[in-house]
Amino acid sequence: MFWNIGKIISKRTEISPHKTAIFFEDQAITYRELNNETNRVANFFSAIGLKKGDRIAVDLFNCPEILSIYLAAAKLGLIFVPLNYRLVACELQRQLTGCGARLLIFSDRNRENIEPIISSIQVESDKYFWVSDNFEKHVSCPSWALEFQREISRYPCEEPCPEYKIEMDDPLAFLYTADTVGVPKAVVLSHNQTFYKFFQIKIYCVLRAEDIVLSQIPLCESGGLFIIATPVLCNGAAFVLRRAFHPDRFIKDIEQYEATIVLALNSMWHQIFKTSEVEKTDFSNARILLGGGEKPSFWLLKKSLELGLHIQTGFGQVENSAMMFMPVDNLKIKRGSIGLPGYFNDSWIEDEDGNRLPAGEIGEIVTKGPTIMSGYWNRAEKKTEPLIDNVLHTGILGYVDKDGYFFMIDRLKDMYRNNGKDVYPVEVEKVMGDHPKIKNVAIVGVSDDYGQETGMAFIVSYPGKRVTKNEVYEFLKGKVAKFKYPRNIVFVETLPVSTTGDIEKSLLKQENVQISAINSI
């Protein structure tokens, strides 16, 4: 089938050109204005020689430019690669090299992480484009880049007409994640999968054109781009967007915009519920409150019920976002559940031999359906990948009850989620292991007082060379993004190991593990 995601903004402009598509930092942008900007970008991309299948990367905070670039890429069959703006230079270098991006668009804040790597990545020398995001005053475009808005302003806003066809199964975007050995991998998502995801969200939320949808999940993440922005624009609703999430501002936006659908990661809801204004906030216009990103904590569920709010949590991965949904009717009865499979997902529990397990038995959550990724970029030869015969193996241990509700128990993979972002300990352990004072290190995900996951590092120092917490953080600076830093550090004399010599992280997670702790921070 020849169709593409970029057509959603074109069609919406025909239906409701003067309706607000985005409220960005309190500025209204209509569907016509967004489509005109998208077309200028698309015509610009064509003029500079980009063609179907080329990868274009963006390193931007939330802004309308991300959406116009994303939709323009879709109209031309280009592959959109949103980079996490929290990443440092060496992390960006690996991802840009891995996807072979021809073009990079970046903002003021991210210049310091781009400049050191321009000579070591494949981005063409005339295809670095700078976007001013007003974070810093008196900042100008660097000499080695061009100003994005000035360049696209020279091009017409007529619909682009590529000479080639774009098919629904063509790649639309690459979203990066990591694996258990700390290697970044690009999840390939097609136009077709994105359309099915829209229908899944529309059915679950009963999405309406008159909805005002509030969310500050970063657009560089699956939740922001595919669970919020694409369905909202496809359905003709209005999207309240800000550059970054601030809980106090978020609370004010709920009332200011009379938001009807409010979505935040569970980690964001934690911050929102800790604000002084939350108990005074009028949520009456919000017919749907959504959470997700990680397993809901008991504190979050309890606090929401105390406030009389019903947050419908869900579950998903980059490989298949919006996989599970929690109906509002059973929030109290099924407390702690991650929900029911989405409308276009079949999910079940399997044992290690691939046998389906009955209700109540613990095994791996697996799923299939048209919303699942196409695979990983340039990793088709890997036999250990989670997509086997079009079935996605999530790496999550759980069970299903007699009513079909799924519950998460633990992860098979060595990883945890910090504020909704995946952290693979091995990546950070490799860096910390290079410190001259650190003999051995193991990082595990543990729960804080509110049930939120955070990293805890157990460090064995060389004799007479004990490292400090500040030294650890200073050593990590510029090597991994800050959200990957372990929040807690414990100094120990030894680490528990198995008979094969592997560190037994399951023992480190236990509250009463018997280790010789020297100091705890």
Structural domain containing residue 512: 416-520
Read off the pLDDT band of 425 (50, 70, 90).
confident
Could you tell me if residue 474 is inside a domain?
yes
CATH at residue 377: 2.30.38.10
Structure tokens at 298: 């008991």
Q: How many CA atoms, within 13 angstroms, populate the side-chain half-sphere of residue 194?
A: 36
404 sits in the region (left: phi over 0; alpha: psi -120 to 50; else beta) called left
Same domain, 401 and 434: no
pLDDT, position 508: 83
Residue 363 lies in a domain: yes
Tell me, yes or no, whether 378 and 427 share the same domain: no
pLDDT the model gives residue 182: 65
Read off the pLDDT of each residue in 336-346 and give the average, rounded to a whole number.
92
Tokens, residue 512: 């009463």
Asked if 503 and 433 sit in the same domain, the reply is yes
User: Average pLDDT, stretch 121-140?
Assistant: 85
Q: Is the pLDDT of residue 515 over 60?
A: no
User: How confident is the model over 403-416, as pLDDT tens digits?
Assistant: 999 998 877 777 78
pLDDT of 518 strictly over 70: no
Q: Kindly state whether residue 302 falls inside one of the protein's structural domains.
A: no
Q: Do residues 442 and 479 both lie within one domain?
A: yes
Per-residue pLDDT, averaged over 204-226, amounts to 95
**Percent of the chain whose predicted confidence (pLDDT) is above 70:** 93
For 295-321, what is the mean pLDDT?
86
What are the tens digits of pLDDT across the range 46-63?
999 999 999 999 999 999
* Residue 269, pLDDT above cutoff 50: yes
**Mean pLDDT on 60-81:** 97
Amino acid type, 29: I
Residues 431, 404 share a domain: no
In this structure, is the dihedral angle defined by the CA atoms of residues 153, 158, 159 and 162, taken in order, positive or negative? negative
Same domain, yes or no: 344 and 393: yes
Asked whether residue 317 is assigned to any structural domain, the reply reads no
Same domain, residue pair 454 and 409? no
- Establish if 471 belongs to a structural domain: yes
Whether residue 508 sits in one domain with residue 438: yes
pLDDT score recorded for residue 42: 98
Torsion angles phi and psi, residue 456, rounded to 5: -125, 125
pLDDT at position 232 is 97
Please determine, for residue 328, whether its predicted confidence score (pLDDT) is greater than 90. no
Which one is predicted more confidently, 96 or 417? 96
Identify whether residues 438 and 453 lie together within a single domain.
yes
C-alpha to C-alpha distances, 23 to 15, 35, 183, 212, nearest whole angstrom: 19, 15, 37, 10
Which among 397, 413, 429 is the end of a domain?
A: 413
Contact between 422 and 455 (Cβ < 8 Å): no
For residue 300, the model assigns a pLDDT of 84
Strands 320-325, 314-317: pairing is antiparallel
Whole-number pLDDT of residue 521: 34
Indicate the average pLDDT of the chain: 90
The structure tokens listed for 226 are 């595919």
Residue 136 above 80 pLDDT?
no
Amino acid at 303: K
Structure tokens at 17: 């050109």
Per-residue confidence (pLDDT) for residue 17, from 0 to 100: 98
> Of the candidates 380, 413, 446, which is a domain's last residue?
413
CB within 8 Å of 192: residues ≥ 6 apart: 1, 168, 169, 370
Task: Please state the rounded mean pLDDT for residues 370-374.
Answer: 95
Q: Are residues 404 and 461 in the same domain?
A: no
**How large is the average pLDDT for residues 219-224?**
94
In a domain, 79, yes or no: no
Whether residue 149 is predicted with pLDDT greater than 50 in this model: the reply is: yes
Which pLDDT score is estimated for 177? 87
User: Is the pLDDT score of 513 beyond 60?
Assistant: no
Q: Does residue 422 belong to any structural domain of this protein? A: yes
What is the pLDDT at residue 408? Answer: 86
Determine the average pLDDT of the residues in 90-99: 95
Region 360-373: mean pLDDT is 94
pLDDT at 511 over 50: no
- Sorting pLDDT into bands at 50, 70 and 90, what band is 121? very high
Domain edge (last residue) among 413, 433, 456: 413
Average pLDDT over residues 290-316: 85
Question: Quick one: CA torsion of 348, 349, 355, 360, rounded to 10 degrees?
Answer: -120
The whole-number pLDDT of residue 520 equals 36
Task: Say yes or no: 394 and 430 in one domain.
Answer: no
CATH of the domain at 432: 3.30.300.30
Q: Determine what percent of the chain is predicted with pLDDT higher than 90.
A: 67
pLDDT for residue 135 is more than 80: no
Does residue 164 have a pLDDT over 60? yes
- Our count of domains for the chain comes to 2
Asked whether residue 12 is domain-assigned, the answer is no
Rounded CA gap, 205 and 289, in Å?
Answer: 10
Q: Residue 505, SS3?
A: helix
Do residues 405 and 447 share a domain? Answer: no
Read off the pLDDT of residues 428-482 as tens digits, 9 standing for 90 and up: 988 898 899 998 899 988 887 677 788 999 999 988 888 888 999 999 999 999 9
